[in-house]
Structure 1
Amino acid sequence: MKYIDINCDLGEGKSLVDCEHDARIMPYISSCNIACGGHAGDESIIKQSLLNAKLNGLKIGAHPGYEDKANFGRVSLDISVEEVVTSIQKQLDFFLRISSKLNISIHHIKFHGALYNDLEKQPQLASKLAELIKYNYLSLKVYGLANGIFEKRCIALGIDFIAEGFMDRTYVSSGHLTPRSEENAVLTEQALSIAQAISLASNQGIKTSDGKVITPQVKTICLHGDNPEAITIAKALHFQLTSAGFLI
């Protein structure tokens, strides 16, 4: 049997009604990353998201990012590395206090948006956030970009790193994600994104936006929950992967 984890960024809505939408995705995935109040979410949304995820038997992750709800954490902030580390620790501690009160265990950490990308552009930032995890949250695994700088920093510190691929984002030949500022950064056609997911799960090559082929070695694949068609895509992805012999 072949195994693949499907993760989805959730808890990023503005109300408990949005949590209901998220809950409809949960039967078709195996892990989730819940916003920690920085780029999205608040205490009530975190609580409901945690309860829904537990009910669906998901591996649950914390999903911190830049504290910038106006831009959904998708813009790099001009702040020091120390300020980023302080903000992330605040978000993680807030999230873990809520999960602890609910007696819900947390499986992993996955960084969000621009911060996720900046970890690959700023080695010092990658090192400092890896150190934060090692000395404060070592019991948690980390989901992050396959074959990147942050993966190397985490592994060097003994952090359990789970390499991630993206079904609905394009890559450049370096293995990094195509910047969202470029037109071809997102795969909008469902058939193309599902085909890429199956290639990633099978460790087969995928075409990059600059005309090359790369083969990221991944253990988890991200499906973006903020896509208006996320539920439809999740159902189709689940069907196609299980039909191809994968256990999600």
Structure 2
Amino acid sequence: MPTIDLNCDMGESYGAWTMGQDAQVLAHVSSANVACGFHAGDPDTMRRTVRLARDRGVAIGAHPSLPDLAGFGRREMAIAPNEAYALVVYQTGALQAFATAERTRVAHVKPHGALYNMAARDAALADAIAQAVRDVDANLFLVGLADSELTRAGERMGLAVLHEAFCDRAYEADGTLSPRREPGAVIGDPALAVAQAVALATSGDIAARDGSALHIAANTLCVHGDKPNAAEFAQRLRAALVAAGIVVAAPHREIYR
């Protein structure tokens, strides 16, 4: 049976500010991307999220970002490849320490927000991020936008790569994500987002924002944990995938070699 990974960005609470429905969402996803403190999250939230994911049997991933708490990591910054390398090593290492303390392990790395989008189109940044992941642990999966500079960089580095697609984001005709400032960039109707996710997991054929046909070959789908109905949406999405004959499971390294 076809299999898809369902990942969610989480651990994004910070200090007195609570964000997301992490405990509830973890019941329906197979991988968790844990904020590492640069765009959201704090040490106690990181530890708590790692423990929750471990207890649920959900794969744990580092979600490194640009240093932008005020902008939630969604504002682009002019950084050099060596800076991107250091950011990823620093944040992944911090999460690995919590995973070790909780008797579990980090399985993957997925850049967050602007860093993710910049690396999707900038080969030099993508190479730096992939190098950072390999240098920290060559057994980690690298998650990136399907068929982007980041996934190509990971493959060049010999990493196991997960090509990601988005349930609730619109796409441009070239396969890039529609900028959030554009109308319709975020799919607000849960039914439409679920339908897009099922199409991505089965045929890979969806419509771009301009109505043109688009094919995306993905093996992991993202659910955004910062939505107010994140848990309800994750439950509905997983049920729809199972009904379509799709197995939801975290990736096993041996099948990507």
TM range (shorter): over 0.9
TM-score when scaled to structure 2? 0.92
In structure 2, what is the equivalent of residue 96 of structure 1? 96
Q: 2: distance between equivalents of 1:229 and 1:4? A: 22
In structure 2, what is the equivalent of residue 7 of structure 1? 7
Indicate if the aligned counterparts of 2:62 and 2:108 stay in contact, CA closer than 8 A.
yes
Q: Which one is further off, 98-107 or 59-68?
A: 98-107
How far the C-alpha of 1:148 sits from its partner, in A, is 0.9
Report the secondary structure of 1:67's partner residue.
coil
Report the secondary structure of 2:12's partner residue.
coil
In structure 2, what is the equivalent of residue 132 of structure 1? 132
Q: 2: distance between equivalents of 1:204 and 1:143? A: 18
In structure 2, what is the equivalent of residue 41 of structure 1? 41
Give CA-to-partner distance per residue, 1:143-178, whole Å, 9 cap, x none: 111111111111111000011110000111111111
CA RMSD of aligned residues (A): 1.5
Q: 2: distance between equivalents of 1:4 and 1:237? A: 12
Q: 2: distance between equivalents of 1:164 and 1:179? A: 17
Specify whether residues 234 and 173 from structure 1 end up closer, same or farther in structure 2 by C-alpha distance, changes over 3 A only: same
Indicate if the aligned counterparts of 1:33 and 1:62 stay in contact, CA closer than 8 A.
yes
In structure 2, what is the equivalent of residue 87 of structure 1? 87
Q: Which one is further off, 181-190 or 68-77?
A: 181-190
Specify whether residues 17 and 231 from structure 1 end up closer, same or farther in structure 2 by C-alpha distance, changes over 3 A only: farther
Indicate if the aligned counterparts of 2:5 and 2:221 stay in contact, CA closer than 8 A.
yes
Give CA-to-partner distance per residue, 1:116-156, whole Å, 9 cap, x none: 00002221111111112222221111111111111111111
Report the secondary structure of 1:135's partner residue.
helix
Report the secondary structure of 2:85's partner residue.
helix
Give CA-to-partner distance per residue, 1:34-59, whole Å, 9 cap, x none: 00111111110000000000111101
Query: Percent identity between the aligned chains?
Result: 34
Specify whether residues 16 and 233 from structure 1 end up closer, same or farther in structure 2 by C-alpha distance, changes over 3 A only: farther
In structure 2, what is the equivalent of residue 243 of structure 1? 243
Report the secondary structure of 2:209's partner residue.
coil
Indicate if the aligned counterparts of 1:142 and 1:162 stay in contact, CA closer than 8 A.
yes
Q: 2: distance between equivalents of 1:52 and 1:19? A: 15
Q: 1: distance between equivalents of 2:204 and 2:74? A: 29
Specify whether residues 48 and 141 from structure 1 end up closer, same or farther in structure 2 by C-alpha distance, changes over 3 A only: same
Q: 2: distance between equivalents of 1:135 and 1:45? A: 26
Q: Structure 1: give runs of 5+ residues left out of the alignment.
A: none
Q: 2: distance between equivalents of 1:44 and 1:34? A: 12
In structure 2, what is the equivalent of residue 158 of structure 1? 158
How far the C-alpha of 1:102 sits from its partner, in A, is 1.6
Indicate if the aligned counterparts of 2:20 and 2:230 stay in contact, CA closer than 8 A.
no
Give CA-to-partner distance per residue, 1:170-213, whole Å, 9 cap, x none: 11111111111212210000010000000000023101112211
Map 1:14-93; keep pairs closer than 5 Å: 14-15=14-15, 18=18, 21-93=21-93
Give CA-to-partner distance per residue, 1:203-232, whole Å, 9 cap, x none: 231011122111111111000000111111
Q: Which amino acid aligns with 1:137?
A: D
How far the C-alpha of 1:16 sits from its partner, in A, is 8.2
Q: Structure 2: give runs of 5+ residues left out of the alignment.
A: 249-257
In structure 1, what is the equivalent of residue 251 of structure 2? none
Indicate if the aligned counterparts of 1:16 and 1:45 stay in contact, CA closer than 8 A.
no
Paired residues, number: 248
Q: 1: distance between equivalents of 2:119 and 2:32? A: 21
Map 1:164-243; keep pairs closer than 5 Å: 164-243=164-243
In structure 2, what is the equivalent of residue 146 of structure 1? 146
How far the C-alpha of 1:103 sits from its partner, in A, is 1.5
